[in-house]
Amino acid sequence: MKYEAPVGKTIFDDAKIVGKSTRRIDGPLKTSGMAPYAYERHDVASGQVYGYIVGSAIAKGRIASMDLEEARSAPGVLAVIAATETDPLGSSNFNTAPLFGGPEITHYHQAIACVVAETFEQARAAAALIRTTYDRDEGEYSLSRTVEQAASDTSKIVSENVVRNGDFESAFAAAAVQIDQTYTTPDESHAMMEPFATIAAWEGDKLTLWTSNQMIAWGRAAMASILRMPKENIRLDSPYLGGGFGGKLWVRVDAVLAALAAKAAGRPVKIMMQRALTYNNATHRHATIQRVRIGADKNGKIAAIAHECWSGNLTGGMDENGAAQTRALYAGPDNLTASYLTELDLPEANAMRAPGEAPGHLAIEVAMDELAEQLGMDPIELRILNEPETLPSNPSIKFSDRHLVECLRVGAESFGWANRKSRPGTVREGRWMVGMGVAAGYRGALIMKSGARVSIDARGKISVETDMTDIGTGSYTIIAQTAAECMGVALEDVSVDLGDSRSPVSAGSGGQWGAASSTAGVYAACVELRRMVTEKFGYDPETASFADGMVRDANVVRALSEAGPLSAEDTMTYGDFQKEYDMGTYASHFAEVAVDAYTGEVRIRRMLAVCDAGRILNPLTARSQVIGAMVMAAGAALTEELAVDKRFGFFVNHDMAGYEVPVHADIGQQSVIFLDTLDGVIAPLKAKGVGELGICGPGAAIANAIYNATGVRVRDYPITVDKLIAEMPDVA
Amino acid sequence: MRSFTYERATSPQQAAAIVAERKGAKFLAGGTNLLDLMKLEIETPTHLVDVQDLDLDMIEETAEGGLRIGALVSNTALSADPRVMRDYAVLSRAVQAGASGQLRNKATTGGNLLQRTRCPYFYDTNMPCNKRSPGSGCAASAGYSRQLGVVGISEDCIATYPGDMAVALAVLDAVVETIRPDGTSRSIPLGDFHLLWGDTPDKETVLEHGELITGVVLPKPPGGQHYYHKVRDRASYAFALVSVAAVLQPDGTGRVAFGGVAPRPWRKDEADAALTQGAKAVVEQAFAGSATRDDNKYKIALAERTLAGILAEARS
């Protein structure tokens, strides 16, 4: 089915199941430990043995020698796979850092060996017996240095993405009020709860990978390319994931080594990438340096806005476009948004939840707060005053459906914004300095083609098969809701099978496109199945209705089960009409914080997100998405930083004790309000994603609240006590 | 992890004797630190003597009016003991500020005193570290040192003692009791228990090989108001950037110790004596001779501000 034009009224506009808060259908399996994650799939292949990964001790250079003999003769060892004995593998076509093979080292903890043994402990002990020497090369590990060099030497910029409308420089120079500030964000890790893990088994030339991956079809294609074998001979199965956040968009070395090791050992091999390796071995979010300039008139009307972002990556890597949201957020006829990439020898940076926009908001939305203060304006009124009619970076583009102003107004009312004191440092409760902050949020609403197979059995039960993944998001449930709604059955009569590459190819989970895209694909398959049912019954497909397990046409009624078994498969694709629109999701984010006047410790008291993301398919799971993202945003604002050792070229704090994600005690009350909106441009369900919208803005709201509480503006994230007390007034 | 043998001891002296006999032997109590380090091969004992069956899990009152805390009393039990909460609140608060509920259930009083540093370079076996691998150098000294020591450190090592419990024990003038392989026991003031790194950062305490901690004795209650303020990057489950333990008397005198700044809980008589003059004077005394780096010099200001907050609370 092709979606060619914005849709009018649909069955979802009178929905009984879609749009209703619904508990996860996979919840009981998860809470009882019965949902098997990749590493726990003991039953899928017998005789599983264990692989243990060895990571490079240097960041750049090559392996001079590897002594493998002691490891090979250690107890229980079945095979040792070494980079020096393996030719470089094929490229995944998704990543730039080579995953395995050959002596060249491009980043710290790059896999250089894998030991396979009967037990995990034997594999780990033998891995420690491998002796490796290296020839170390000098590397570049400092983003601030490459960006400084780029100022005078443009060849240091290896790629750029610059969008201009009008003449920013002239308009900025002429503006009565100007903001020109630079913000820095650190490298961040996905730090998902479930590590990368794979069990691999060969049957002849056919390979099965039980793994933890967000994008099954990409992963299958990548493995085919890496192992140089036909993708038809590869099966990926990933029904449950314990988080991904973009880190599992790609197959990682656990999958590659499990495949190689299973072949070498002649046994199924299971590998969990050790936690301490994940920070440097896998991908991470780039650090950024962002400069924001805004020129406005004395009334706050923005004339000129520029947001430029610098990041660094390995050769061939992508950038972190922190300026992306600034193309859409505020009116300002003369604007410039740009992302510049330099080269670093740190591990590969790549997509992490709301790539670009998550760190981008930490700059632009603080700059707006700074502008509001300079103008003596309320920061909400400033944003409302500068609400654009069409896309500021390209005014010929319309917004598909946008209610940012309503988000701000509803949020202000609900949060009690009127009680905020605009002068910083004026609210004190004992030792606590208290403040409120606000930020707007924008995240693009991507939509991807997505397929599904929907079947009716002889009992009238519906089953859905698609390679869509549920990375903790609630995909199982919204897909079941969609199928139940379309086929006129109860939710309990729908079963959903996800994450298997034998199923039709879906959009997968990424870029907050999963919910809108995968349900549209299920809808397409259901429409086809309904057509087949009516054909079988001799009903008019235009007038037949599906409800309560029955199919009605005029005065005839038959049970849906009579049509079974019957199966339909389809894929939803999209027409070019969408290019006329900017499809986005919008939010207002509020935070109230208390800062210890002595120690600078920050405590988040309250957070609120008001979201405009079209139809909310399942408010319960959508809320979980948003509050989870708000927690992650709080981490970015306050605690999370991969600390770079610029001599050795690696992330030093590479474990869960050193890389501090928020804990429960860091998060106060969280509230989410969904506006009742519909976006008919994006897809027939008129729904957009929220999983990344939730991380776009809350960090800036926290930063602005800290400023409101203390009068201290920290522009170098995360905002930690050392940076705060350096500027806070003396207390002794 | 290297292969090792394992046995369960039946008496403290027997445990001490077994460990003393075997060069590579170590005691195992809660295992919350040792097992992690063994998995990384930072610790490579050849034989573990599990002391969990020993009768050392009681908190008893002493003839002097204090408490004797058995070496195997868990952090959870220690912090929840009504006598500790009433008379030694600084200790209860410090213990509760550490780790997580699960870890505190397993971690013991004796083991906690022996918790090893959390320096990230100590944990990464690819990196030089004089503590892990004597003579290999110190990667932290010119590296990422935001968490690391500012006073009492050396050229060879800038690691900190990371724990909380011992910081409170330091202001309580606690005494560590041990049994040696020959059956003799000794009492070691907490302030003398941990060594400064000097040029032997691999040597962390005064314990001899085979010497087993049997308990910690608290003198009679010090009275006064008790404070433990641990400052960290997140609200729970993180090691201290700086912590301050203080027992303050109504006349403004008292005792103070700092955590997260040095190879041992950091207490100085001169600093105690300066308490009546305010936080600045105390910190000047306590941190005399400090050696800070760009990314950890904030710790001294933070220590002063944290103590100032405590002193203000005590006055109010």
The answer to whether the CB atoms of A596 and B309 lie below 8 A apart is yes
Q: How far apart are CA A362 and CA A639, in angstroms?
A: 14
**What does the DSSP 8-state code read for residue A681?**
T
Query: What pLDDT is attached to residue B316?
Result: 87
Query: A178-213 as b/e, with b when 16 or more CB fall inside 10 Å?
Result: ebebebbbbbbbbbbebbbbbbbbbeeeebbbbbbb
C-alpha dist (Å) from residue A277 to A194, A262, A306, A604:
13, 21, 38, 31
Query: What pLDDT is attached to residue A44?
Result: 97
Residues of B in contact with A77 (CB under 8 A): none
Q: How far apart are CA A703 and CA B47, in angstroms?
A: 52
- Contact B159/B260 with Cβ under 8 angstroms? no
Q: How far apart are CA B148 and CA B299, in angstroms?
A: 9
Closest CA to A410 of A587, A604, A592: A587
Residues of A in contact with B233 (CB under 8 A): 638-639, 660, 718, 720-721
> Is residue A616 over pLDDT 80?
yes
Best mutation target among A60, A105, A652 (most B Cβ atoms within 10 Å) is A652
Residues of A in contact with B302 (CB under 8 A): 599-600, 721-722, 725
pLDDT tens for each residue of A314-346: 999 999 999 999 999 999 999 999 999 999 999
Residue A67, H or E segment: strand A61-67
pLDDT class of A732 with cuts at 50, 70, 90: low
Kindly report the nearest CA distance between residue B172 and chain A, in angstroms: 24
Phi, psi values for residue A466, rounded to 5°: -160, 155
Write the residue in B241, B312, B313 that is nearest to A721 by C-beta: B241
pLDDT tens for each residue of A502-522: 999 999 999 999 999 999 999
The answer to whether the CB atoms of B298 and A121 lie below 8 A apart is no
Write the residue in B120, B236, B305 that is nearest to A598 by C-beta: B305
Query: What pLDDT is attached to residue A26?
Result: 97
Q: How far apart are CA B3 and CA A38, in angstroms?
A: 28
Cis amide linkage into residue A718, ω under 30° from 0 = yes
Q: Which of residues 643-662 of A touch B (CB under 8 A)?
A: 643-645, 647-648, 652-655, 657-658, 660, 662
pLDDT (mean) for B226-238: 97
- Contact A141/A649 with Cβ under 8 angstroms? yes
- Contact B91/B165 with Cβ under 8 angstroms? yes
pLDDT (mean) for A643-666: 97
C-alpha dist (Å) from residue A404 to A411, A439, A635:
10, 11, 25
> Is residue B199 over pLDDT 90?
yes
Q: Which residues pair with B25 in a beta bridge?
A: B47
Closest CA to A339 of A367, A316, A307: A307
pLDDT (mean) for A349-374: 98
Over pLDDT 70: what percentage of chain A? 100
Interchain contact B4–A (C-beta under 8 A): no
Cis amide linkage into residue A565, ω under 30° from 0 = yes
Kindly report the nearest CA distance between residue A121 and chain B, in angstroms: 7
What secondary structure does DSSP assign to chain B, as a single string?
----EEEE-SSHHHHHHHHHH-TTEEEESS-TTHHHHHHTTSS--SEEEE-TTSS---EEE-TTS-EEEETT-BHHHHHH-HHHHHH-HHHHHHHHTSS-HHHHHH-BHHHHHTPPP--HHHH-TTS-BTTTSTTS-BSSTTS--TTS-SSS--SS-------SHHHHHHHTT-EEEEE-TTS-EEEEEHHHHBPP-TT-TT--BSPPTT-EEEEEEE-S---SEEEEEEE-SSSSSS--SEEEEEEE-TTS-EEEEEESSSSS-B--HHHHHTGGG-HHHHHHHHTTT----TTTTHHHHHHHHHHHHHHHHHH-
Residues of B in contact with A638 (CB under 8 A): 233-234
Kindly report the nearest CA distance between residue B139 and chain A, in angstroms: 9
Q: Which residue matches tokens 């004190």? A: A428
Best mutation target among B117, B160, B234 (most A Cβ atoms within 10 Å) is B234
C-alpha dist (Å) from residue B31 to A56, A587, B109, B122:
29, 47, 12, 18
pLDDT (mean) for A451-462: 98
Query: What pLDDT is attached to residue A640?
Result: 98
> Is residue A272 over pLDDT 80?
yes
Q: Which residue matches tokens 């190879």? A: B263
Q: pTM surpassing 0.95?
A: yes
Over pLDDT 90: what percentage of chain B? 99
pLDDT class of A194 with cuts at 50, 70, 90: very high
- In what side-by-side order are the strands of the sheet with A428-429? A428-429, A432-444, A584-596, A602-612, A669-674
Helices (H) and strands (E) in chain A, counts: 16, 32
Q: Which residues pair with A606 in a beta bridge?
A: A592, A669
Interchain contact A605–B (C-beta under 8 A): no
Catalytic residues of A: 692
Query: What pLDDT is attached to residue A383?
Result: 98
* Domains of chain A in sequence order: 2-35+447-579 (3.30.365.10)
> How deeply is A87 buried, as exposed, middle or buried, from its count of CB atoms within 10 A (0-12, 13-18, 19+)?
exposed
The answer to whether the CB atoms of B298 and A726 lie below 8 A apart is yes
Interchain contact B298–A (C-beta under 8 A): yes
Angle, CA of A528, A531 and A536, to the nearest 5°: 130
A154: tokens are 């443009």
Count the alpha carbons within 13 Å of B217 in the hemisphere toward its beta carbon.
16
**What does the DSSP 8-state code read for residue A647?**
T
- In what side-by-side order are the strands of the sheet with A177-185? A159-165, A334-343, A302-313, A288-296, A177-185
pLDDT tens for each residue of A12-28: 999 999 999 999 999 99
The answer to whether the CB atoms of B309 and A652 lie below 8 A apart is no
Q: Which residues pair with A451 in a beta bridge?
A: A571
Kindly report the nearest CA distance between residue A728 and chain B, in angstroms: 11
- Contact A184/A290 with Cβ under 8 angstroms? yes
Write the residue in A645, A720, A725 that is nearest to B143 by C-beta: A645
Interchain contact A710–B (C-beta under 8 A): no
Write the residue in A124, A647, A658 that is nearest to B143 by C-beta: A647
A207: tokens are 């390979």
Give residue B246's identity as a one-letter amino acid code: A
Best mutation target among B116, B118, B126 (most A Cβ atoms within 10 Å) is B126
The 3-class secondary structure across A100-140, one letter per residue, is CCCCEECCCCCEEEEEEECCHHHHHHHHCCCEEEEEECCCC
Query: What pLDDT is attached to residue A731?
Result: 86
pLDDT (mean) for A132-158: 97
What secondary structure does DSSP assign to A539-553, as a single string?
--TTT-EEETTEEEE
What secondary structure does DSSP assign to A696-710, as a single string?
SSHHHHHHHHHHHHH
Q: Which residue matches tokens 């780039």? A: A286
- What mean pLDDT is reported for chain A? 97
- Contact A379/A420 with Cβ under 8 angstroms? no
The answer to whether the CB atoms of B312 and A665 lie below 8 A apart is no
The answer to whether the CB atoms of A663 and B124 lie below 8 A apart is no
Residues of A in contact with B301 (CB under 8 A): 725-726
pLDDT tens for each residue of B98-132: 999 999 999 999 999 999 999 999 999 999 999 99
Interchain contact A133–B (C-beta under 8 A): no
B77: tokens are 């039990």
pLDDT tens for each residue of B150-162: 999 999 999 999 9
The answer to whether the CB atoms of A663 and B236 lie below 8 A apart is yes
pLDDT tens for each residue of A700-716: 999 999 999 999 999 99
The answer to whether the CB atoms of A663 and B41 lie below 8 A apart is no
ipTM, 2 dp: 0.97
A397: tokens are 């583009």
What secondary structure does DSSP assign to A293-318, as a single string?
EEEE-TT--EEEEEEEEEEEESTTPP
